[in-house]
Amino acid sequence: MNYFSSDFKLGILGGGQLGKMMLYSTRKFDITTHVMDASDEAPCKIACNHFTLGDLMDFDAVYNFGKHVDLLTFEIENVNVDALEKLEKEGIKVYPSSKTLRTIQNKATQKLFYRDHRIPTSDFTRFAYISEIEDAIENGGLEFPFVWKASQFGYDGNGVKIVRSLCDLEGLPKGECIAEDLVPFKNELAVIVARNQQGEVKTYPVVEMEFHPEANQVEYVICPARISNHVAEKARTVAMNVSKAFNHVGLLAVEMFQTENDEILVNEVAPRPHNSGHQTIEASYTSQFEQHIRAILNLPLGKTDSKVGGIMVNLVGDEAYTGPVVYKNIETIMELEGVTPHIYGKKQTRPFRKMGHVTIVNEDINEARQIAEVVKNTIKVISE
């Protein structure tokens, strides 16, 4: 198959920042892209060849879009899987597959998958309704504290809450959910695994994630993680086992906990480019976005080593501002050595909305971390 400067059409469901960064690579390779998103102001719109306005959860919209491309991928999990399944049956290639996505879309199903495949993960209980959690607490079947997760449609910290008392359950969605054991951990880690159609597999170095205490969003991604080689090897092995169990094609980001006794437990996965791999654009031989394109097109996978230490800082909307976005002090951070901002193209900011990220590269990861702190404290995402 000739993908380059040809009539081959790659379809991407979702037009957000992940899709936009995927388009860095498709434009480099001159691959024709069709993107569908529900927003007419989607970041991808300026960079794809053809843009379609459509609801990703609508069967007809996804099916009709998919019929007119040669291969379909996605940059967000909230996509109509029934439409993907029908397209596959009709001969359209969908990577990662509808089967993989169906399992991952529902956090309860995802956790059961780990249990069935003997992948280490925290203990959990599945509930059809949140009222069943209250009954379980009353009957002594569930103890505080635990982590409540909505089974579906959670993202970027939404749909996740640490529950320490009955009061914490107030206002949560009433539907299907899980209650996970609250794991005492040293570090939150992630490994991105790439796998192409013929089964070639590569992993990126383990990264360490530091989270914002209120927004439950990643504030810093640090690569390489500041952990022992033994723990890093264990994390990469677990991630490879998860990838093998799913038999996926494309990228799989595996988020994990490093427990206090250095065990590795899988938290959850994302079958697409991921926040934990943004630093690969500047710091790695092959960015995660290019690697995803290589994997789904069954091209040889690129080298995953880092050229230099990298830290990613998320740029999120200041909690005090809503409206047309302004990046205050962006020129100041651009004066710092090894600092590259990426602005996603969202015109409106709101509290904690992901608006961009900044990569800091340095041969000394500790120095990079100090510069990252300066960046975080200097640039402000506000409104006019």
pLDDT of residue 253: 98
Whether the model clears a pTM of 0.75, i.e. scores above it, the answer is yes
DSSP alpha helices (H): ranges in 7-91? Answer: 17-29, 59-66, 81-89
Residue 188 CB coordination number (10 Å): 19
Rounded-to-integer distance, Cα 84 and Cα 72, Å = 9
Q: Is 268 annotated as a binding residue?
A: yes
Beta carbons of 161 and 188 less than 8 angstroms apart: no
What is the tens place of the pLDDT at every residue in 333-372? Answer: 999 999 999 999 999 999 999 999 999 999 999 999 999 9
Q: Is 316 annotated as a binding residue?
A: no
Rounded-to-integer distance, Cα 80 and Cα 104, Å = 13
Q: Is 180 annotated as a binding residue?
A: yes
Q: Is 267 annotated as a binding residue?
A: yes
Enumerate domains of the chain plus CATH numbers: 9-94 (3.40.50.20), 123-181 (3.30.1490.20), 185-383 (3.30.470.20)
Rounded-to-integer distance, Cα 277 and Cα 271, Å = 13
Beta carbons of 322 and 349 less than 8 angstroms apart: yes
Residues 6+ apart with CB under 8 A from 272: 18, 73, 74, 75, 76, 77, 96, 250, 251, 253, 292
Residue 118 CB coordination number (10 Å): 9
Minimum mean pLDDT among 10-24, 147-161, 283-297, 309-323: which range? 147-161
Q: Is 123 annotated as a binding residue?
A: no
What is the tens place of the pLDDT at every residue in 117-161? Answer: 999 999 999 999 988 998 999 898 899 999 999 998 766 567 899
Q: Is 182 annotated as a binding residue?
A: yes
Cα angle 164, 165, 169; round to 5? 100
Q: Is 78 annotated as a binding residue?
A: no
Q: Is 149 annotated as a binding residue?
A: yes
Which residues on neighbouring strands pair with residue 343, listed in sequence order?
Answer: 356
Q: Is 347 annotated as a binding residue?
A: no
